[in-house]
Amino acid sequence: MKEKKKISNSVIKRMPRYYRYLSTLKQMGISRVSSKDLSTRMGITSSQVRQDFFSFGGNGLQGYGYDVEFLHGEIHKILGLDNIHPVIIIGAGSLGHALAKHTDFAKSGFKVVGVFDIKPELIGEKINDIEIMHLESLPEFIQNNPVDIAVLTVPENYAVEVAKMVTGLGIKALWNFSPVELNTPEDIIVENIHMIDSLIVLGYNLNER
C-alpha cells in the first residue's frame, strides 16, 4: 500500500461523508454532481471539494462536474470498503449490546464475530446469533479466528487494562468507547468515540449561544 501518494488525514476524515452523500445520489439515479452542489449540501466550500477530489484524482470534467458513480467507486476503493474486517466487542453492557445488534456496520465490511464479557450471567446469551463468551476464552478464540478490530465498551476503569490485554493478543486496532486515553504502543491504531466529550462541546456551544 505504500506506493500510493498519501491522502491527508483531514481529507480522509471527510471521505465517509462524501461517500454517504454520493450513495444517496446514486440511489436517486443522479449521475453527475458539481463541486458547488456537494459543497452546499455538506456545508463546506466548493474549493475544498475540488481540492479534496483533486488530491486523489476525482476525474472531474470541466463544465460538467463529477461522475457520481465513478466518484463513489473511487472513494469506496480508497476507504477499502471491500475489505471484510472481523470485529470483536468487549463489554456486553447496553452499549456493547447496541453495537452488536447494529447490523449496518456489516454493510461497510465490519463483521462482529464475537462478544466478550466477564459477568457470568451474560455468558452464553446470544445477540444476533453471536454468543457472549467469557473474556478468559478470548486468547483461544483469537487463535482460531482472525480478529482485526476490538471494540472496547467496558467500564472506564477496565479500559486501559483490557486494551493492554487485547493488543497483547495481537489485535492491531481498537475502537474505544471508554472516556479514557488508552496510551497504546505506536503501531496500534485507535479510534475513539468519546461520547461525553462530544456532548460537553455541544453543551459549551449551547451556553455560548
The dihedral sign for the CA sequence 153, 80, 104, 14: positive
Residue span binding its own copies (CB under 8 A) among the ranges 45-53, 81-89, 117-125, 129-137: 81-89
Q: What nine digits make up the cell of 57? A: 484524482
Estimate the crossing angle of helix 46-54 against helix 35-42, to 10 degrees.
120
Write down the least CB distance from residue 50 to DNA, Å. Answer: 4
The candidate with the shortest Cα–Cα distance to 16, out of 146, 104, 102, is 104
160 makes contact with DNA (CB under 7 A): no
Which set of grid coordinates corresponds to residue 129? 446469533
206 binds, among its own copies, DNA, none (CB under 5 to 8 A by kind): its own copies
For 156, the grid coordinates are 472506564
Q: Which does 72 bind (CB under 5 to 8 A by kind): its own copies, DNA, none?
A: none
In angstroms, the CA 153 to CA 160 distance is 12
CB 8, min distance to DNA, A: 4
Task: State in angstroms the smallest separation of the CB of 87 from DNA.
Answer: 28
18, amino acid identity: Y
Tell me which residues touch its own copies (CB under 8 A).
1, 12-13, 15-17, 19-21, 41-43, 78-81, 83, 85, 93-95, 97-99, 101-102, 104-105, 108-110, 148-149, 172-173, 175, 179-181, 183, 187, 189, 191-209
